[in-house]
Chain A
């Protein structure tokens, strides 16, 4: 019960370095902390062409303390960039969702930039599979 006719090269290699390069361009190697960022992606993609992704960052979202931007990268796509969200204090809550394409099983890397310039990061793996059979 698998998609025999639509096989993408499955063992293509993900490239974490491409993501690192993008981050260097943005933040020049500035240190990043774990925490405060929540990346909500499915463990297994139902459809590699439409994978829901939600990011949420802990923040009071006041004029002086808010989330400026959230970048999401996919290390196994032909190009690592997926999106950048730019929030304002008026959002009230630093959470937003969209849908992305994933070419294969890979890591999704998320980096949040706070209004004071500090950076937070998290990552999650999404499995893209042809499925197998069923009971």
Chain B
């Protein structure tokens, strides 16, 4: 079993703040994180505006075979950020 720790740089604008002119700053957050291994989703998180800036996510995975992790972060604006990491079982 391994613990996987992820971090992405993002301001996670909550939609609750106001700018210096008093106007509400629109919400713009990453609303979901998905981790898949060799194409199969193994862990997923829905994030609400209460998640801190530069969101951190850790979870566990029981490694049985070599393969590739893919992490996908989905932004409110529709964009997606992804990263892949290979894991080799000796």
Contact = CB atoms under 8 A, between A and B. Distances in A.
Asked whether A and B interact, the reply is yes
Interface of A: 49-51, 61, 74, 77-79, 81-88, 90-93, 95-102
Which interface class (under 10, 10 to 19, 20 to 34, 35 or more) fits B? 20 to 34
Contacts of B55: 98-99
A90 B59 contact: no
B52 A49 contact: yes
A88 B43 contact: yes
Nearest to B55: A98
Contacts of A78: 14, 16
A112 B71 CA distance: 23
Contacts, number: 90
A81 B1 contact: no
Interface of B: 1, 14, 16, 37, 40-53, 55-62
Contacts of A82: 48, 50-51
Given A85-B44, A96-B45, A50 B59 contact: no
A100 B45 CA distance: 13
Given A74-B50, A91-B60, A97-B57, 8 more contacts: A78-B16, A82-B48, A82-B51, A85-B43, A86-B44, A88-B43, A91-B61, A99-B55
B13 to A, nearest CB: 12
A87 to B, nearest CB: 6
Given A50-B52, A96-B60, A98-B51, A83 B42 contact: no
A23 to B, nearest CB: 15
The 8 closest A-B pairs by CB, nearest first: A92-B62, A81-B48, A93-B60, A96-B59, A99-B52, A86-B44, A84-B46, A90-B42
